[in-house]
Structure 1
Amino acid sequence: MAATRPVAWPWRLLTALAVAASGAVHLYLVGSQGYGGGTGNWLETAFWLQGVGGLVLAVLVLVWRSPLPLLGAVAYGLSTLVGFLLAVYLPDGLVGVQSVWGGWAETVSAVTEVLAVVAGAAALLAERRRPV
């Protein structure tokens, strides 16, 4: 009888909550705050994609028992956090977009993106272990 691969549900749930929260913050910022510089701006499009992508990844992490959505969540968290930090700390911002660190949205995003990386990696490691 073949052994089944374990599913790290607590880590998957935490990963899904983290990417969903980050996605929701991005949707809030672009939808209600006009964040991104107006219609047609590349940053506005990027924020819409980040928001929708976070919500889709959250669902995939929970319903698809493959390591791929977990890898996607880790990449999502890393890329989003690094992009924000570059926009804050580079002298000219990221591709001409200067951001500031402050406010609840930036804090929630940063925390949830770090959490997505840590929880996603923990789920990958837990699910990689072979059952005894």
Structure 2
Amino acid sequence: MGMRILAAVAVVVSAVVHLYLWFDGVRDQGTVGQLFVVNVVAGAAIAVLLFTWHGWVPPFLTVGFGASTLAAFLVSTTVGLFGIEASWSWYAWLAAISEVVAMVAGAVLLLPWISGWRSGRGRQHDAPVGGAHLH
């Protein structure tokens, strides 16, 4: 459960940084402002999924969230993204570190599924928290 907590905290930190920046004026920057809202909602949803569904999907989403968010920021600092050029600041570093942590934690959580698929055993089911099984 510790790795799920770490992954959830990482996506929430990134989401909170994006929410802070949205209130700090990014909301007025067209497409980028809208994408910041998507980031906030996605981070919150993924954090909830990490605690309620112990399948492979939440860790997969965690890796994708971290990778796509960090990639978008790196693009915005180099060539610009939708006309916006970002720079490195304390909140950018905080978000970037949290996104790297999300990718690593999500990857670690995916390892049991990956090893099961590679060995041909697979996973019989993905159980949500509480022990109920989905078939």
Matched, 1:28 2:20: yes
- Which aligned pairs between 1:6-21 and structure 2 lie closer than 5 A? 9-21=1-13
Structure 2: stretches of 5+ with no match in the other structure: 117-135
Match of 1:124 among 72, 87, 110: 110
- Relative CO higher for 1 or 2, CA cutoff 8 Å, sep ≥ 6? 1
Structure 1: stretches of 5+ with no match in the other structure: 1-8
Once the two structures are TM-superposed, the CA of residue 77 in structure 1 deviates from its matched residue by 0.2
Once the two structures are TM-superposed, the CA of residue 46 in structure 1 deviates from its matched residue by 0.5
Once the two structures are TM-superposed, the CA of residue 128 in structure 1 deviates from its matched residue by 5.0
Once the two structures are TM-superposed, the CA of residue 95 in structure 1 deviates from its matched residue by 2.8
AA aligned to 1:98 is: E
AA aligned to 2:20 is: Y
What residue number does 1:82 align with? Answer: 71
Tell me how far apart the structure 2 counterparts of residues 65 and 127 of structure 1 sit (CA, whole Å).
Answer: 11
Match of 2:87 among 70, 75, 100: 100
What residue number does 2:121 align with? Answer: none
Tell me how far apart the structure 2 counterparts of residues 74 and 129 of structure 1 sit (CA, whole Å).
Answer: 17
Matched, 1:115 2:72: no
Tell me how far apart the structure 2 counterparts of residues 58 and 24 of structure 1 sit (CA, whole Å).
Answer: 12
Contact 1:57 1:73 in 2 (8 A): yes
Displaced runs of 4 or more, over 6 A: none
The alignment-based identity, stated in percent, is 36
Contact 2:10 2:101 in 1 (8 A): yes
Contact 1:25 1:105 in 2 (8 A): yes
- Root-mean-square deviation (Å): 1.5
Once the two structures are TM-superposed, the CA of residue 94 in structure 1 deviates from its matched residue by 1.9
